[in-house]
């Protein structure tokens, strides 16, 4: 495998994993009656509509059909991707609901 092919493969893998992180975030929010788009816009107010988030929300299932996603696991994934802003926004939203 040449350098460009390997680089392309790494980028594609990262993008797939990023999609899974966004889907897990969206599903967790749906499972807890939280609007994922609202939380995302709090984390990234300057960013316009996020296509990946929109696709992820469309791919979620009802909370009755979903398996539980531990919040600690979601935060761990955020940390892996350096998504501290989203972790903070979600943490604040959760605190406000308690």
Q: What is the mean pLDDT of residues 24-51?
A: 94
What is the reported pLDDT for 73? 94
pLDDT at 31: 96
Burial 44-57 (b: 16+ CB within 10 A, else e): eeeeeebeebeebb
70 — pLDDT class (breaks 50, 70, 90): very high
Q: If pLDDT is split at 50, 70 and 90, which confidence band does 56 have?
A: very high
């Amino acid at each position: 495998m040449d350098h460009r092919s390997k680089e392309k493969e790494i980028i594609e893998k990262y993008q797939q994993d990023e999609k899974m992180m966004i889907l897990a975030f969206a599903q967790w929010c749906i499972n807890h009656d939280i609007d994922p788009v609202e939380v995302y816009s709090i984390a990234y107010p300057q960013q316009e509509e996020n296509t990946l988030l929109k696709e992820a929300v469309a791919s979620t299932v009802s909370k009755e059909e979903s398996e539980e996603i531990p919040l600690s696991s979601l935060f761990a994934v955020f940390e892996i991707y350096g998504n501290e802003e989203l972790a903070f926004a979600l943490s604040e939203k959760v605190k406000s609901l308690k």
